[in-house]
Amino acid sequence: MKCRKCKAPAEVPLPSHNTAFCRDCFAAYFTGQVEKAIRRHGLIKPGERVLVALSGGKDSLSLMLELSRLGYDVTGLHVDLGIPVSSAAARNKVEAFCRLHGLKLRVIELEKEGLPIPDVKRYINRPVCSACGKIKRHWFNRIALEEDFQVLATGHNLDDEVARLFANTLRWDAGYLSDQGPCLQAENGFARKVKPLCRLTEFETGCYAFLNGIEIHTAPCPYSGGASFTGHKRLWADLEHMSPGQKIAFYDGFLKRGRPAFARQEQEKGDPLAPCEVCKSPTSTGICGVCRLKIAVTERRAADPERQAK
Ligand code: AMP
Ligand code: FES
Ligand code: ZN
């Protein structure tokens, strides 16, 4: 197969675009899709400081490299979850990547913050992944606001977005459908949250990471039963195979026609927010969810005879 643009031997087939690219033309295509997302949805404005949440996976590291190449003022943020073996491995990848490319990095250690994920798993009776997601989002927003970043960028790709949108649609979850998308505007103590890889598939971010020699953390979290929305992603892979281009059409169609309809409906809802009494993060419950988790974990840890023996 030949590259559609320059006729050199193709290295990356892209059936959904009915095309294939050589290495250089794929790089230009990737950049074009990121720029298109940024422009079309107003994700990042010139001169803004961008905090990029880095997990160590292919998506977030690719995003960081691409935004830095586009000239944005980026700083990485890694949340070290404190899970034995796996967290150190992920953190090492993030640190090595930032060192290699001369990129700024902030690391938050949940162990030092008194809320390591193994303790959340042990002492809190609810699915650890949802608590963990909440804690990560808390730190993304907190560092963005406390350290004067205007934008918080995550590595969510088109497959993540479509799988989430599909799940929200199956439940007709009007609240989530009213604001899902590549840009959540800053308001009420929340920084703007953006997803510049929303037009690129998992396969495409994987190719970008591979072709750029990015060393990534690939092991799944030992506490999760695999990646999120795996079943839905498989369904969408079949749909896309049968009818290339479905994924981006579904997502773009939602952003143009679906979301505005839900947004109008949901506009007036929601409790008023005020700063958390402990950490100042916005909350409608006096003390925010993460500070309440921390209080519960601290109390139960102190009452745990096994911990006292150590
Ligand atoms: P996930 O929900 O694990 O697919 O992650 C989605 C996005 O959240 C990633 O692309 C990262 O931008 C961000 N992220 C996930 N885990 C971490 C972490 N431990 N530290 C910083 N960012 C993270
Ligand atoms: Fe958070 Fe696994 S529980 S990444
Ligand atoms: Zn708080």
pLDDT tens digit sequence for 114-135 = 999 999 999 999 899 999 999 9
Tens digits of per-residue pLDDT, 202-252?
999 999 999 999 999 999 899 986 556 778 888 999 999 999 899 999 999
Centroid of ligand 2 to alpha carbon of 29 (angstroms): 32
Task: Report the residue among 79, 217, 224 best suited for mutation to probe ligand 2: largest number of ligand atoms under 8 A from its CB.
Answer: 224
Tens digits of per-residue pLDDT, 27-76?
999 999 999 999 999 999 999 999 999 999 999 999 999 999 999 999 99
pLDDT at 188: 78
Assess if residue 20 is contained within a domain. no
Assess if residue 33 is contained within a domain. no
For residue 310, name the pLDDT band (cuts at 50, 70, 90): low
Assess if residue 1 is contained within a domain. no
User: Whole domain around residue 239: which residue ranges?
Assistant: 40-218+225-273
Assess if residue 72 is contained within a domain. yes
Q: How many domains does the chain have?
A: 1
Is the beta carbon of 230 within 6 A of some atom in ligand 2?
no
CATH of the domain at 209: 3.40.50.620
* Ligand 2 atom nearest to 222, measured from its CA: 2
Measured CA to CA in angstroms, residue 216 lies from 58, 152, 255 at distances of: 6, 21, 31
Is the beta carbon of 75 within 6 A of some atom in ligand 1?
no
pLDDT at 269 over 70: no
Kindly calculate the radius of gyration of the chain based on its CA atoms and give it in whole angstroms. 20
pLDDT at 163 over 70: yes
In the chain, at which residue ranges do the beta strands (DSSP E only) sit?
A: 12-14, 19-21, 49-53, 73-80, 104-109, 151-153, 183-184, 192-194, 274-275, 282-283
**Strand pairing partners for 194?**
153, 183
Assess if residue 145 is contained within a domain. yes
Two structure tokens written together for 119: 């303790």
- The separation between CA 22 and the C-alpha centre of its own chain, rounded to angstroms, equals 28
pLDDT at 225: 67
pLDDT at 226: 58
Least confident window among 80-89, 216-225, 292-301: 216-225
Is the beta carbon of 108 within 6 A of some atom in ligand 1?
no
